[in-house]
Structure 1
Amino acid sequence: MSSTYLNAWRIAAIILVGLNLRPVLASIPPLLDQLQAAIALSDSAAGLLTALPVFVMGLGALSVAPLRRRMREHHGIAVGVALVMAATACRLWASDANLMLLTGVIAGLGIAVTQALLPYFIKAQFSSGVSAIMGLYSTAIMGGAALASVASPVLAQRVGWPQALAAWAMPAAAALLCWLAVNRVGAVAPLIANAAGHAHTARSRRWLLAVFFGLGTGAYTLVLAWLPPYYTALGWTPAAAGQLLGAVTVAEIGAGLLVSVAIGRLHDRRMALFMAIGLLLLGLLGLLFAPLLLAWPAAVLAGLGIGALFPLSLIVTMDHAATPAQAGSLASFVQGVGYLIAALFPFAAGVIRQHLSGLRPAWMLMAGICLILFVLAVRLRVPHAYGKP
């Protein structure tokens, strides 16, 4: 089999894996009111349904180095997808809050392993077009969230909420089979040990990248967890609120695809970052000041901002890595710290909702964080020593 043909199949497998990294999270918010009624969840505990898996994603990414020493990265990715599949399937029997949270922990670990190893895999397997492939992969992640947010309430109406949540194990199983089949066809480049792989990246720059990724991803987890409950509290049906979240994620997909197409022409990523943050800020202001009148425009604007910001954050991180080993080490650190930060957002919003009887303060806080993102983005020009000028 030619390398071009094999690489095309590998890209398809990467996209399919990406599609299955968010349904386990995105399927819950449109059904949150039903879940809270069925298993007696407080608003704070409901926030943990998103926050806890994201927190585990962070811890798992920081701890993935031992796994990388024990197995090749494509095997580790298979393990991660298998954990996501198993956790999602177990939701069929998750009849109380503790079991539901446990499935989130297991899924978060699987997502962490997969997301920490895939940048290494992409950097190792593709000598060119890494930024575009990272853009496609991150867009696929958002596409899976879109599908789950729209389809889960429809499935719940027909078969019940446990079955609707567990149904996402089936596409995860398909992704696992595809990944195993594609990566058995040809030899996969072995891991390259490089203990000092990221030594050239200044510690302050690593932390800058991690904080920027964490705050930007915090916007994603906040909207993912609490946009549907925000609108059901305003009188919308769960299906309509799920469709609104679907509009957010469809906008995210469009923005992610645009980033994938245009990223090769942008040697200085900062203008794209400024535009993404600005769109997110406009969407948040719409949710704050005219949530009913501007529901759909605000959702689309927020989705465009989040959808561009997520892949750009990953691409800027990869810009700072010259080798696959550096890419793996830096991605693990940035995603690990970043997801720990992002996990705070949905939990904090749940506490705010429980004690202040609404989510407007949470949107206001996120709008303020957008101003911090603007300041951080100014410093994210890629140095010549790390990537393209």
Structure 2
Amino acid sequence: MEIARATSRPAAWLMLGIVLVALNLRPSMAAVGPLLSAIRGDIPLSFSLASLLTMLPVMAMGLAMFFGIGISQRLGEQRTVLLSLLIIGVATMSRLFLDTAAELIASAILAGIGIALIQALMPALIKSRFPDNVALCMGLYVTSIMGGAALAAAFAPQVLRHTGSWRVGLAIWATLALLALLFWWTQHANTPVAASAPARKESFLHNSRAWLLAIFFGLGTASYTCVLAWLAPYYVEKGWSEQNAGLLLGFLTAMEVISGLVVPAIANRSRDRRRVLMVLLGLIVAGFCGLILSPQSLSLLWPCLLGLGIGGLFPMSLIVSLDHLDHPQRAGGLTAFVQGIGYMIAGLSPLLAGVIRDRLGSFEWAWWSLTGVMLVMLLIALRFNPRDYPSHIR
């Protein structure tokens, strides 16, 4: 995909467009947790079945990553973004009319496919258009993703309270897709369409470093998806109202936004990201331990620590992948592989946590399991020495 470096004004408009798109990549999942008890009041859902509302779109995101790059090369950036936003908007709006668990889950899968097409495209686009500020721009992009989650988590219960309908609370986020769709449509004349010959497709299936990066991304994202799905229900079970539990999840995602902005800027000073990764993983471990041992006292501290850790870890996992290759297309192919495998790993975590809750009557063992996963990730992070990157991926 040949893309000329953007000049300052077009670059600013492009970054605004990326932010508007990114805001659409999590509300379809983030709005579910705070509204879960209201949904379960209308539709019979066990916790295991409810976990599919987060698990299946994440799995769909993983599978769609493997053909997302090919679709973007055939359609061009502009058309790929428009198609993805249309899919997300239709999937989200359809929730106004759903009456069964199967229909709700189908809408979640459809949204996941739309999300994946965008997420396969964006890392390569950012690396090619903003080559001197990859970490900063990836931070802004990922922060906007988490900002969309924060909006949905905090305001979906408010919509429920004012309208009396959880369906409206889930469907209202289609307006974000419409806003982004209109922006990208009106920018058609100013946005160069990538019309390049398809690049040689490179397979990373037999590269051990690509698999290690994918596992690292997947395990880190597992903590994000599990918290997104179950933090609010966890606190509702502790006696909190849906509104306050949703606000707590919104607070956590707001901390993710702050960390997603600040951490890549700090990490941009050095190509060695290991120290930053270890600090972030330590914050997540402390947050999970607090959720287990003292969920009611210092109840804002634990989501704060989790949000700061998860919010920085998400973009840093992608940035470390991009660091391995200088060529934008090859780096984009690598991040598509990393996200494809990673999201399929991460998609299992809400299901496993839901099964644990159904079997043991508490989410606390899920938090303990994720704590152990973070300790494993600390050991993996030590292996990301930038001096070794050329020997792992040539």
Residue 150 (structure 2) pairs with residue 146 (structure 1): yes
Contact 2:264 2:316 in 1 (8 A): no
**Which of 273, 281, 286 is the aligned partner of 1:277?**
281
Secondary structure of 1:379's partner? coil
Paired residues, number:
385
Structure 1 distance, partners of 2:276, 2:383, is 13
Say which is worse superposed, 145-154 or 321-330, in terms of deviation.
321-330
How does 1:83-122 map onto structure 2 within 5 Å? 83-122=87-126
1:6 corresponds to: 10
**Which of 186, 192, 206 is the aligned partner of 1:187?**
192
Question: Which ranges of structure 1 fall in alignment gaps of 5 or more residues?
Answer: none
Amino acid of the structure 1 residue aligned with 2:179: A
Contact 1:150 1:242 in 2 (8 A): yes
2:51 corresponds to: 47
1:246 corresponds to: 250
Deviations along 1:309-343, whole A, 9 cap, x unmatched?
Answer: 00100111111121121122111100000000000
Say which is worse superposed, 57-66 or 205-214, in terms of deviation.
57-66
1:35 corresponds to: 39
Residue 186 (structure 2) pairs with residue 170 (structure 1): no
2:316 corresponds to: 312
Structure 1 distance, partners of 2:389, 2:232, is 44
Secondary structure of 2:314's partner? helix
Deviation at 1:187, TM superposition (A): 2.0
Say which is worse superposed, 375-384 or 52-61, in terms of deviation.
375-384
Contact 1:124 1:189 in 2 (8 A): no
Amino acid of the structure 2 residue aligned with 1:348: L
Structure 1 distance, partners of 2:291, 2:355, is 19
Deviation at 1:280, TM superposition (A): 0.4
Cα distance change, pair 386–146 in 1 and its aligned pair in 2 (3 A): farther
Structure 2 distance, partners of 1:310, 1:70, is 28
Residue 218 (structure 2) pairs with residue 214 (structure 1): yes
Deviation at 1:194, TM superposition (A): 3.1
Secondary structure of 1:309's partner? helix
**Which of 74, 77, 88 is the aligned partner of 2:81?**
77
Secondary structure of 1:260's partner? helix
2:378 corresponds to: 374
Structure 2 distance, partners of 1:315, 1:190, is 26
1:348 corresponds to: 352
Give the alignment's TM-score, normalised by structure 1. Answer: 0.95
Q: Percent identity?
A: 42
Deviation at 1:68, TM superposition (A): 3.2
Contact 1:125 1:189 in 2 (8 A): no
Residue 277 (structure 2) pairs with residue 266 (structure 1): no
Structure 2 distance, partners of 1:60, 1:22, is 16
Structure 1 distance, partners of 2:75, 2:324, is 25
2:3 corresponds to: none
Contact 1:319 1:386 in 2 (8 A): no
1:134 corresponds to: 138
Amino acid of the structure 1 residue aligned with 2:276: A
How does 1:60-75 map onto structure 2 within 5 Å? 60-75=64-79
Structure 1 distance, partners of 2:8, 2:383, is 37
Deviations along 1:259-291, whole A, 9 cap, x unmatched?
Answer: 232232022000110000000000000001111
Contact 2:69 2:121 in 1 (8 A): no
Question: Which ranges of structure 2 fall in alignment gaps of 5 or more residues?
Answer: 1-5
Amino acid of the structure 2 residue aligned with 1:179: W
Deviation at 1:77, TM superposition (A): 2.1
Structure 2 distance, partners of 1:241, 1:205, is 39
Structure 2 distance, partners of 1:179, 1:137, is 16
Structure 1 distance, partners of 2:191, 2:73, is 21
How does 1:228-247 map onto structure 2 within 5 Å? 228-247=232-251
Say which is worse superposed, 261-270 or 350-359, in terms of deviation.
261-270
Residue 18 (structure 2) pairs with residue 20 (structure 1): no
Say which is worse superposed, 319-328 or 264-273, in terms of deviation.
319-328
Contact 1:197 1:325 in 2 (8 A): no
Amino acid of the structure 2 residue aligned with 1:258: V
What CA RMSD, in Å, does the superposition of the two structures yield over aligned residues? 1.7
Say which is worse superposed, 152-161 or 64-73, in terms of deviation.
64-73
Deviation at 1:386, TM superposition (A): 5.2
Structure 1 distance, partners of 2:170, 2:362, is 26
Deviations along 1:135-158, whole A, 9 cap, x unmatched?
Answer: 100000001101110000000111
Structure 2 distance, partners of 1:276, 1:47, is 26
Amino acid of the structure 1 residue aligned with 2:98: A
Contact 1:81 1:176 in 2 (8 A): yes
Cα distance change, pair 236–118 in 1 and its aligned pair in 2 (3 A): same
